[in-house]
Amino acid sequence: MKARVIEIKRFAVHDGDGIRTTLFLKGCPLACVWCHNPEGIGSAPQLAYMADKCIGCGSCVSGCPSGAHSVKDGLHIFEREKCIGCGKCEEECPVNALKFYGREMSVEELLPLLTEDREFYENSGGGVTLSGGECLCHPDFCAELLARLKEQGIHTAVDTCGAVSREAIDKVMPYTDVFLYDVKAIDGEIHKKCTGRDNALILENLKYIDGCGKQIEVRYPYVPDYNSGEAEKIGEFLSGLKNLTAVRVLAYHKYAGSKYSSLDMENKLPERMPTEEEVEEARNIIRKYGIKVI
């Protein structure tokens, strides 16, 4: 069984407790206006081209079987419509001007990579986190991988937006120690404005996971002029959960703009970033409901 991998991030410290390795998988059902991982939205392979790094050496030309790359008068030309998503050109580029997202990897291929830092997990209370995109777009793959990790005694976390089927959640639940769960808004219309979808399923899935007794850490991405007024409603809603360990309020940033350019994707990132005072106010609103905020 295989899935398309975006990236494997070692020594991650914001994707659950302790030092962790985070596996990012491709594909997401939401279209958040502030998405800082645009390479994770679509399920198909993508090639990012960073023109500012390119030295026009032409190494990618011979490595591309579809003729998507060429060099004319010392200038590199990438014809994206010709790209077949094989990733061979990335291997040839000597200056990392090309990055391939979506290489298919199996559970057997990933296990040694994800368990390589076992000693750090054990000493820090860390483990392995599955993320995306939305990792639960690949429920069977995630369930098999998580089961194999648990067989080796490794702590596991699933980072999800919650816009997935109940069946997908049930498949991974026996092998998941903690769910890192995004709550972007409680108001359905605001959520739809922010992500393109209603949030009824997301909130129901959150209550379901809580009812099953699983630990949950909620992430609230705070974006001015979009969901910045939702802190009160979020605090009230979360106060009814029994297995909530903490809420992490994440300040929006727009530093992913260059990713959109490199992928030839439309950049809809909001212009304004929040002040620390605004984010702290949101944290304090949630704290007054007796919720731990980190």
Burial class (CB within 10 angstroms; exposed 0-12, middle 13-18, buried 19+) of 230: buried
Provide DSSP, 49-78: E-TTT-----HHHHH-TT--EEEETTEEEE
**CATH classification of 2-44+104-287 is 3.10.450.50, yes or no?**
no
Domain residue ranges of the chain, discontinuous segments joined by +: 2-44+104-287, 46-101
Confidence label for 244 from pLDDT (cuts 50, 70 and 90): very high
Give residue for tokens 């990713």: 259
Q: What is the pLDDT of residue 34?
A: 96
Confidence label for 103 from pLDDT (cuts 50, 70 and 90): very high
Provide DSSP, 76-100: EEE-GGG--S--HHHHH-TT--EEE
β-pairing, 244-251 vs 215-222, is parallel
pLDDT in tens, 281-294: 999 999 999 999 99
Q: What is the pLDDT of residue 270?
A: 96
**Of 255, 264, 158, 253, which is closest to residue 212 (Cα–Cα)?**
158
Q: Which residues face 23 on adjacent strands?
A: 8, 130
Q: What is the pLDDT of residue 241?
A: 98
Average pLDDT over residues 246-261: 96
Is the pLDDT at 195 greater than 90, yes or no? yes
With beta carbons less than 8 A apart as the criterion, state whether 180 and 135 touch: no
Average pLDDT over residues 166-171: 98
Identify the three-state secondary structure at position 135.
Answer: helix
For 24, 33, 41, 42, the CA distances from 105, given in Å and listed in that order, are 12, 29, 18, 17
Average pLDDT over residues 57-79: 93
Is the pLDDT at 73 greater than 90, yes or no? no
Cα–Cα dist 262/6, whole Å: 15
Provide DSSP, 200-247: HHHHHHHHHHHHTT-EEEEEEEE-TTTTGGGHHHHHHHHTT-SSEEEE
Confidence label for 191 from pLDDT (cuts 50, 70 and 90): very high
Q: What is the pLDDT of residue 216?
A: 98
Q: What is the pLDDT of residue 74?
A: 84
Instruction: Quote the mean pLDDT of the chain.
Output: 96
Cα–Cα dist 204/199, whole Å: 9
Identify the three-state secondary structure at position 4.
Answer: strand
Q: Is the peptide bond before 133 cis (omega within 30 degrees of 0)?
A: yes
Q: Which tokens is 260 given? A: 């959109």
Average pLDDT over residues 259-284: 97
Q: What is 46-101's CATH number?
A: 3.30.70.20
With beta carbons less than 8 A apart as the criterion, state whether 252 and 273 touch: yes
pLDDT in tens, 2-55: 999 999 999 998 999 999 999 999 999 999 999 999 999 999 999 999 999 999
Q: What is the pLDDT of residue 114?
A: 98
Give residue for tokens 């739809």: 192
Q: What is the pLDDT of residue 214?
A: 98
What are the residues whose beta carbons fall under 8 Å from the beta carbon of 20, sequence distance 6 or more?
11, 12, 13, 121, 126, 127, 128, 129, 157
For 21, 168, 226, 239, the CA distances from 133, given in Å and listed in that order, are 16, 15, 21, 28
Is the pLDDT at 63 greater than 90, yes or no? no
